[in-house]
Amino acid sequence: MPVITEIEDLRRIYKRRVPKMFFDYTESGSWTEQTFRENSSDFDKIYLRQRVAIDMEGRKTASKMIGQDVAMPVALAPVGLTGMQHFDGEIKAAKAAEKFGVPYSLSTMSICSIEDVAENTSKPFWMQVYTLKDDDFMQRLFDRAKAAKCSAAIITVDLQLLGQRHKDLKNGLSAPPKLTPASVANMMTKVQWGLGMLQTKRRFFGNIVGHAKGVKDPSSLTSWTAQAFDQSLNWDRIREFRKMWDGPLIIKGIMDPRDALEALNVGADAIVVSNHGGRQLDGALSSIRALEPILDAVGDKIEVHLDSGIRSGQDVLKALAMGAKGTYIGRAYVYGLGAKGQQGVTDALNVIHKELEMSMGLCGRTDVKTLDRDILMVPKGFSGDWDA
């Protein structure tokens, strides 16, 4: 087995082991993929300030996210179709996160259901929900999350319209996979993946099939999905969702200071600066560029997290030093899951943790809670000097 020293090692194994349609689902963005690329490449424009002759012993990465203790301020982001990357993928990722001591976020569009994950874990996880039209489904989704003792809800607000992802359309992405000559030929080369999928009964969207009105089987899911997302969403509607959930609430998909203030006004406990991993509005700023103006707008009135583009512990370090109180990884842990299952997710977390705590020490800091802009060299105009 190859030695895993960086997230890219896991990505290479992942590409070999998982069918093309699911690799492409993860490793793509909308339209030209400009925002998808810049989410990661813009981190490279920020430099770290090296310090020496400072005591670097006893480095600590433990922190809190929305009041919950975390081994490091990194959560596993909600990612749809995770159970198609590896059999029972959501369960395996949640177990890895639990053991490591970081939050796991379950997507509404997961293959394993809320109940599946709750039955196979012992600590609370976070539940992500979309802004759907069906009040009955939404209330029951929140109620199911409460029954499963989820410790927070994440409302994703940037998916009123689905950004066009060329690869998904060309691959005929679905769960279970569409069987075409091309997809069958490709899946036949992924023996380990196929043998795993044969071991599980979980191959459909577990939170929707059998729970949404009229969705009794996968064939009825397509028409439901086409009508379910609420294009007329507004902040009053989000207030209605807030009433459905009385626990800690995170609003994900904020890219503009005005929307950050709206999220604060509806009673959210945290916001996630995120462009959906570059999968929605192509040509939008990277999340790391959008972070500072949002922090300036809300100050310390609400906890601000960052998602999209993180592939290393140094990316986490930069986001925290810029002012984020927490970060999320999606693709980085999915690479590990597809490559090696639960162990691969653990490997991804170990890589990021080691990079974070070692880089922190070389910058002269021993506690993640003390990180600030002083350890960074940020280009002038990085966060925007636009001719509006």
- The torsion defined by the Cα of 71, 74, 78 and 81, in degrees rounded to 10, comes to -80
Active site residues: 276
Distance CA 94, CA 122 (A): 10
Distance CA 93, CA 69 (A): 19
Q: Where are the beta strands (DSSP E) in the chain?
A: 47-48, 63-65, 68-70, 74-76, 105-106, 126-130, 152-156, 249-254, 270-273, 303-306, 326-329, 376-377
> Which residues is 106 bridged to in the sheet?
127
Contacting residues for 312 by C-beta, under 8 A, at least 6 apart: 6, 7, 351, 352, 355
Distance CA 301, CA 288 (A): 20
Q: Which of 133, 98, 150, 78 is nearest to 330 (CA)?
A: 78
| H/E stretch holding 34 | helix 34-41
Three-state SS for 52?
coil
In terms of phi and psi (left: phi > 0; alpha: psi -120 to 50; beta: otherwise), the region of 290 is: alpha
Distance CA 150, CA 336 (A): 24
Distance CA 287, CA 272 (A): 9
Do residues 202 and 210 touch, judged by C-beta distance below 8 A?
A: no
Q: What is the sign, positive or negative, of the torsion defined by CA atoms of 21, 314, 98, 328?
A: negative
User: Going by DSSP bridges, is the β-strand pair 126-130/74-76 parallel, antiparallel, or unpaired?
Assistant: unpaired
> Based on the number of CB atoms within 10 Å of its own CB, is 193 exposed (0-12), middle (13-18) or buried (19 or more)?
buried
Distance CA 250, CA 233 (A): 17
